[in-house]
Structure 1
Amino acid sequence: MRYDRASALLCALSVGVGMFGIMDLSHGTTWQRGLVEVVIGLVSGVFLVRRQLTRAEPLLPIDLLRIPLFRLSIMTSVFSFCAQLLAFIAIPFYVQDMLGRSEVMTGLLMTPWPLMVMIAAPIAGRLSDHFPAGLLGGIGLGCYALGLGLTALLPAHPENWDICWRLGICGAGFGLFQAPNNRAILGSAPRHRSGGANGMLGMARLTGQTLGATLCATVFKLFPHHGQMPVAMGLACLLAVIGMTISLLRLRLPGSVPNTVKS
């Protein structure tokens, strides 16, 4: 298969230039250039999608989104990772700038999130043999949204423990969601398209993270210093709730329940 240079260029323009445009608009210093970049990104994205739909071996396998379970799982992933990076950027700024904690303490306070992901992910992997991804993802993202919402409601002068247990809830919810969702993405695609499905999984993750970082920059620009944390975490909570809703919609699809599900 020959390397599709035209598709690669369109992908770079749609994602790279488009995201730079959003960041320029959010900073408000060069809005004219930002607007042009956003338009270039959108137009390039349209041409990229049209080109990929006509190719037998697409660089970006958009055609897999025609599979309902695959499409909903990808959307769930985008919203969840968008909420994750929005929180991951906002929390350290809040802990250091507003609460005056050191860099080392900031890292320690963030530790419960990945620690709980590490604990919950293997458990979720086993549960995904018996329960549908839509249910596990919905429960996990509900827990995730709860943790984000509680973090948005932190008191003005929280103790370290107040931060730790809230981020632990976030991590537990994210860990419960991620493994079943990844399995649904890879399992819903045809076996001979597993490579393309894996690429779409990575694209969903990076798209969500990029959007989350852009949204965080926008919040930091638009809101005063003391209001950045609750707004950012509240927005992350909303994104997680949207992801939870999309995840639960998968329960209405035929074939979304594993064959090994217990009656």
Structure 2
Amino acid sequence: MFDNIKNSPNYRWYVLATVAVGTFMATLDGSIVNVALPTISHQLNSNLSTLQWVVTAYLLTITSLLPVFGRLADLMGRKKVFGYGFLVFILGSALCGLAQNIWFLVATRVVQALGAAMLMSNSPAIITAIFPPKERGKALGLTGTVVALGSLTGPALGGILIKLAGWRSIFYINVPIGLLGFAAVLLVLPKDVPNKEKEPFDYLGALSFTLGMIFLLLGITNGEDWGWSSLPVLMSIIIGIILLISFILTERKVTHPMINLSLFRNRPFLIGNLAGGLSFIAMFANNMILPFYLQGVLNYDPAQAGMLLMIFPITMAITAPISGNASDKFGPVFLTTTGLTITGVGLLYFSTLSASASFYHIIPGAILTGLGAGMFQSPNNSSVMSSVPPQKLGVAGGINSLVRNLGMVIGIAWSVSLFDALGGVASPNPSQIDAFMSAYHYVMLVAMAIAFTAAVISFNRKSYAKAQ
């Protein structure tokens, strides 16, 4: 059976389908847990400040380990690391479902995140290695669709599962999906080619990077709750910066660094990651505050708000493969720049909404931002991954995923802090509506400026790997 699959002219698409299972599972779990938090809080007797670690621990672990597992895959083999990722994720998910107290759940979410990081860091590398340049953008575009569908499906599927089988089912659902994915890894993914040079792993670099990212993100994600001038937040950010500086100094000296900093001298790689990070910073500012506008100001119920919030990922899911296919023919510059510009226009549109906007007034902004994101992501990812040599695909994919996660974290942190500083209140009473709208409009204008800045940066990528 395996020989038939491997010799099939469609073999590369079987590989893509296998990778898509891991990508879907990781993104599904990132969104499915949020809808269960109130139920988990009640059943495990947890307050909100403790409950947030169910989300934060998962995020911190994934973000801090993406380049580490990308580098390990370059050394050990991508099939091996990707396959182990499924097994670790399955184990973590099963343990999450067995949790009897909140801290056991947090600890097992860390295990789950280890598996997710192994999957997420290797997905773009596996696709880039198996697809020729003329089809690479299309393949990465379909992966973007899977990401959007995972995010879209999570809240809806989570709500159904919790109603039918309780909150533990949202973790148990990963077990059969993960077993299916692991079987596909064994049957479909190509065998790893041994690394003849036997390069050593940079343990010091990995440790300083991982700890640096954990401390830095710990400060950023808790800045609003703990206070940006509080000692824990300041110390976390300072320690994180010191460790990351130490990491950079280490990487410049060792013979085989965890992250070869010369990658950033590659213009398409640097420009693509910078523009990508800024795009997520801009998008997640709106993704964070828009639900509060819909429910707190317009008084929509969760179902109505959910319908409007679905427009963004649906539009992105439709646009991403089309844009990826177009980038294979025309290159990334026009598509990425136009996509970011459309995103900026969509954010500008959101800045004009009033406290009495109708349901249909929200739709154009959601379509514009989804269209812009879909146009940008696939060509940008293809440009970034096509710009590095094959032996660096793993670490490049890890960095690409890291930039995405960092953009999400920073986008949420700065938008909430600015919104709060301008007098915005998450659940406003009638006398606070004007302050909410003023703060929301200002945040959207800043996000628009970030998106337009990213468009200018993206326009300046001078070269890319052309289809052959």
Same fold? TM cut 0.5: yes
Q: Deviations over 1:13-45 (max 9, x none)?
A: 322212332355545375233222221111111
Distance (whole Å) between structure 1 residues aligned to residue 311 and residue 391 of structure 2: 39
4+ aligned runs moved over 4 Å, structure 1: 1-5, 23-27
Once superposed, what is the RMSD of the aligned Cα atoms?
2.0
Report the alpha carbon displacement of residue 58 of structure 1 after superposing the two structures with TM. Answer: 3.2
Report the alpha carbon displacement of residue 2 of structure 1 after superposing the two structures with TM. Answer: 5.9
Identity %: 25
1:33 aligns with 2:241: no
Please give the secondary structure, in 2, of the residue aligned with 1:111: helix
Q: Which amino acid aligns with 2:455?
A: M
- Shift in CA distance, 112/247, structure 1 to aligned 2, threshold 3 Å: same
More displaced, 28-37 or 90-99? 28-37
Distance (whole Å) between structure 1 residues aligned to residue 326 and residue 229 of structure 2: 49
- Superposed, 1:40-119 pairs within 5 Å as 40-119=239-318
> 1:248 — aligned with what?
459
Report the alpha carbon displacement of residue 111 of structure 1 after superposing the two structures with TM. Answer: 1.4
From 7, 25, 28, the equivalent of 2:205 is 7
> 1:209 — aligned with what?
408
Q: Which amino acid aligns with 2:279?
A: S
Please tell me whether the aligned partners of residues 22 and 214 of structure 1 are also in contact (alpha carbons under 8 angstroms).
Answer: yes
- Which of 1 and 2 has greater Rg? 2
Comparing both chains, which one has the higher relative contact order based on Cα–Cα distances under 8 Å and sequence gaps of 6 or more?
1
- Superposed, 1:83-162 pairs within 5 Å as 83-162=282-361
> 2:449 — aligned with what?
238
More displaced, 227-236 or 162-171? 227-236
Q: Which amino acid aligns with 2:406?
A: T
More displaced, 16-25 or 143-152? 16-25
Which segments of 5 or more consecutive residues in structure 2 lack a partner in the other structure?
1-198, 425-435
- Shift in CA distance, 154/103, structure 1 to aligned 2, threshold 3 Å: same
Q: Which amino acid aligns with 1:256?
A: Y
Please tell me whether the aligned partners of residues 251 and 260 of structure 2 are also in contact (alpha carbons under 8 angstroms).
Answer: yes
Distance (whole Å) between structure 1 residues aligned to residue 228 and residue 346 of structure 2: 34
1:17 aligns with 2:215: yes
Distance (whole Å) between structure 2 residues aligned to residue 2 and residue 86 of structure 1: 40
> 1:258 — aligned with what?
466
Please give the secondary structure, in 1, of the residue aligned with 2:350: helix
More displaced, 59-68 or 41-50? 59-68
Q: Deviations over 1:128-169 (max 9, x none)?
A: 022221221000100111001101111221111111121111
Which segments of 5 or more consecutive residues in structure 1 lack a partner in the other structure?
none
More displaced, 152-161 or 222-231? 222-231
Report the alpha carbon displacement of residue 211 of structure 1 after superposing the two structures with TM. Answer: 0.8
What's the TM-score, normalizing by structure 2? 0.52
What's the TM-score, normalizing by structure 1? 0.90
Please tell me whether the aligned partners of residues 76 and 244 of structure 1 are also in contact (alpha carbons under 8 angstroms).
Answer: yes
